[in-house]
Amino acid sequence: MARKSAAGMGSIRKKVIKRGNKEYTYFEARYTAGYDPGTGKQIQRSITGKTQKEVSQKLKAATAAIDAKTYTAPSKMTVGQWLDIWTKEYLGGVKPLTVNSYKTAVKNHIKPGLGAIKLDALDPHTVQSFYNSLTTQKSLSPKTVKNIHGILHKALEKAVTNKYIPFNPTEACELPRMEKKEIQPLDDDQITAFLKAIKGHRFEDLFTVALFTGMRESEALGLTWDCVDLAKGTILINKQLQVVKGSRGEYTLAPTKNSKGRTLTAAPFVVSVLRRVRHRQLSNRLRYGECWADTGFVFTDDLGNHLKHVTVYKSFKKVVTDMGFPDVRFHDLRHSYAVASIRSGDDIKTVQENLGHATASFTLDVYGHVTEQMKQASAARMEQFIKAVNH
């Protein structure tokens, strides 16, 4: 066994191993990475490579990092092992539905693609190839790839914090370009037609309140009377009704999308609708007696039970399909509210807060075209005024 020295850096050994009739040669360097705080003994690490030059370069980098106090010990874990630890130990503050989506992405995509790789050997090029394969081989949408990237990035960021790896290899990756979908709000004529179509419908009040408050479907279904102040005309939106993933029709109340509550000051018309809902519930309570379920929800069936998403979805789709607009979604009521608010003169900050968006810039990104149309309309009105006075 040959031994060569690297001045001031320890030693590099040439090693030969036999497997059957074949010999394999590689080089190994050993160095002191520090001292065990419990025993005071030196912590010895080794570096291997195919050539002496490769090992020498790795050794120089390791000892330089030790001197600069930026050294990170190599991790023996695989990416898959770390993901198992991360999903089990580090998602305590994440909503249950989000945890389920993280675990599904890890199980179905990240671990099959990267799980067997050593955590400290994962590099940006390998991650980039993985992202590319999700698009080319699995035909996943750019949005789905972005979501998977977000999960992997968070997991590896925690690995960096824990000093298992020196940097996050996902930082340098390029994601597929996302095509921005055009929103489809109802125009004034369509809103008028929609209100006529739902007249007398069993979900008329739910559809109307959603249209004129911008609440998400799950927020409207999860709205409870303790969050409604009919005297002040305010609505506190601090939760949403969700189906427990993997359950057989089990529901739960979860925090809102960005985990922040918001208070709306509703239009008097909306307050009158809510008063009508309240009055109907009180009548049903008297009518059904012990069969009435005092759940506290605003929008319920005749016996006081909360409404189910699938029931509301089917009813809504039938209404809009009968109107001749089968592509309209419940969420488009939210878009319609936002566009109407902006056109009526509400500033973007107010619209952002009413919708529950995290930032005003996000609201502008979604509805910026509306403000642009308003600017063009304003310029056209000014042009007409100039022509009227300049003749």
Q: What are phi and psi of 370, to 5 degrees?
A: -70, -45
Q: Are 191 and 276 in contact (CB under 8 A)?
A: no
pTM score, whole prediction = 0.65
Contacts of 285 (CB under 8 A, 6+ apart): 292, 294, 304
Using DSSP, state whether 63 is helix, strand or coil: helix
Give the range among 184-198, 229-243, 326-340, 360-374 with minimum mean pLDDT.
Answer: 360-374
Give percent of the chain with pLDDT exceeding 70.
94
Contacts of 242 (CB under 8 A, 6+ apart): 97, 218, 222, 251, 252, 253, 254
* CA atoms of 215 and 237, how far apart (whole Å): 8
- Beta partners for 300? 306
* CA atoms of 120 and 58, how far apart (whole Å): 14
Mean pLDDT of 49-73: 77
Q: In the predicted model, what is the mean pLDDT of the chain?
A: 87
Contacts of 127 (CB under 8 A, 6+ apart): 114, 152, 169, 170, 173
Q: Are 111 and 102 in contact (CB under 8 A)?
A: no
Supply 60's token pair: 């120089």
- Band of pLDDT at residue 2, cut at 50, 70 and 90: very low
Q: Are 163 and 119 in contact (CB under 8 A)?
A: no
- The pLDDT score that the predictor gives to residue 46 is 75
* CA atoms of 70 and 141, how far apart (whole Å): 38
Q: Is the pLDDT of residue 242 over 80?
A: yes
- The pLDDT score that the predictor gives to residue 121 is 86
Using DSSP, state whether 254 is helix, strand or coil: strand
Q: Is the pLDDT of residue 5 over 50?
A: no
Domains and CATH numbers, the chain: 3-67 (no CATH), 79-172 (1.10.150.130), 188-374 (1.10.443.10)
Handedness of CA 65, 70, 76, 82 (dihedral sign): negative
- The pLDDT score that the predictor gives to residue 6 is 37
Characterize 131-161 residue by residue with b for buried, 16 or more Cβ atoms within 10 angstroms of its Cβ, and e for exposed: beebeeeeebeeebbebbbebbbbbbebbee
